[in-house]
Amino acid sequence: MHTEMIVTLFIPFTIMMTMFAMGLSLRAKDFKLILEEPRAVIIGMTSQLLILPALGFLIAGTLSTTPEQAVGLALVAACPGGPSSNLMTRLAGGDVALSVSLTALSGVVTMFTIPLITAFAATLFAPTLPGLSMPILKTITQLIIMMGFPVTLGMWVRTSYPHRVSGLESFMVRVATGLMVILIIGALYKSRVELAQYGWAEVTPPLLLSLVGITLGFILCRIFRLKPTQKITIPIEVGAQNAALAIGLALTTLQQREVAFPGVVYGTFMYLPCLLVVYWGRRTLDHQPESSSS
C-alpha cells in the first residue's frame, strides 16, 4: 500500500510541482526568441527531439542488458529537457532565455511524441513481453495533465501576479528540486538490487546517452556557427533530460520497475557530464564576445 501510494500520488505530484515551477519562470519574451533566433531554436529542438531519441535507440539496442531496460533508455531519450538544465545553463554563463524556450517547447512537443516513441521501443525491443505497452491516447492525456496544465497555471500566475512571482518562483524551484532529489534517491534505493546485479554494465548506457548527446549537440552548434553562449546552452539542454518524468511514466503507466531503472541511473549520473560543460563554459565563455561565432 505504501509503495502504491508513492507511485500513484508522490510521483505525479513531483512532476506537476516541477512543471509549475518551470511555468513560473516563463515570460512572453522567452518565446520571442523563436523568431529572433530561429536557427538556435531549430538546432536545439532537432538535437533533442530527433538526434537524442535516435541515439537512445542505438545505445539501447547495442548495450542494454535486458529488453525492459532498453525500453527504459528509449523512454529517457524521448523525454523533454529537465528544469535543472536552466539552472546549469545559468551557472555556465549560457543563454538562459534559449534554455527556457527549448525546455518549454520540448515539453509541449514531447507530450505527444513520448507515447509514440515508447510504444515503438516496446515493439522493437520487447515484442514478446506481456504487459509492456504504452496506451498512446491515455498517456497523452496523462502528460497534458501532469505537464501542460501545471506549466499553463504557472504562466498564468506569473502574468496575473507579477509583483509576487519572484519570491514564489525561488520557493517553488527549491520545492521542486527537493522533491526530485527525494524521488531519485527513493527510486535508486528501490533499484539497489538491479544496480548490484548489473553494476557498471547498466550504468554505462544512460551515462553514454548523456555524454554522446552533449557531444553531438556541441558539434551541431560548431557546424552552424552559433554564438558562444548558445554553444554551451544546447549541449546542456540535450544532456539533461527530465529523468523524473521517465521514472514516473515507467512506474505509473507501464508499471515496470525495471523500465524505470535507466531513468534512475540517468537522473543520478547525468549531472557529471553536464557539470563538466558548466565548468568549461565558465572557463571559456566569460572572456569571449557574444558576437563571436567560433
In the chain, where the domains are located: 2-284
Determine the straight-line distance between the first and last CA of the chain, rounded to whole angstroms.
Answer: 57
State which H helix or E strand residue 30 sits in. Answer: helix 28-36
The pLDDT of residue 60 is: 93
Q: Are the C-beta atoms of residues 99 and 86 closer than 8 Å to each other?
A: yes
The pLDDT of residue 113 is: 94
Give every residue of the chain whose pLDDT is below 70, as ranges: 1-8, 30, 33, 130-131, 188, 190-201, 285-294
- Report CA Rg, the chain: 18
The pLDDT of residue 131 is: 66
The pLDDT of residue 291 is: 43
CATH of domain 2-284: 1.20.1530.20
The pLDDT of residue 1 is: 43
The pLDDT of residue 7 is: 59
Strand partners, 241: 81
The pLDDT of residue 290 is: 47
- How many CB atoms are located within 10 Å of the residue 280 CB? 15
How far, in Å, CA of 52 to CA of 122, rounded?
17
Q: Are the C-beta atoms of residues 59 and 209 closer than 8 Å to each other?
A: yes
State which H helix or E strand residue 118 sits in. Answer: helix 96-125
Q: Are the C-beta atoms of residues 95 and 227 closer than 8 Å to each other?
A: yes
The pLDDT of residue 193 is: 66
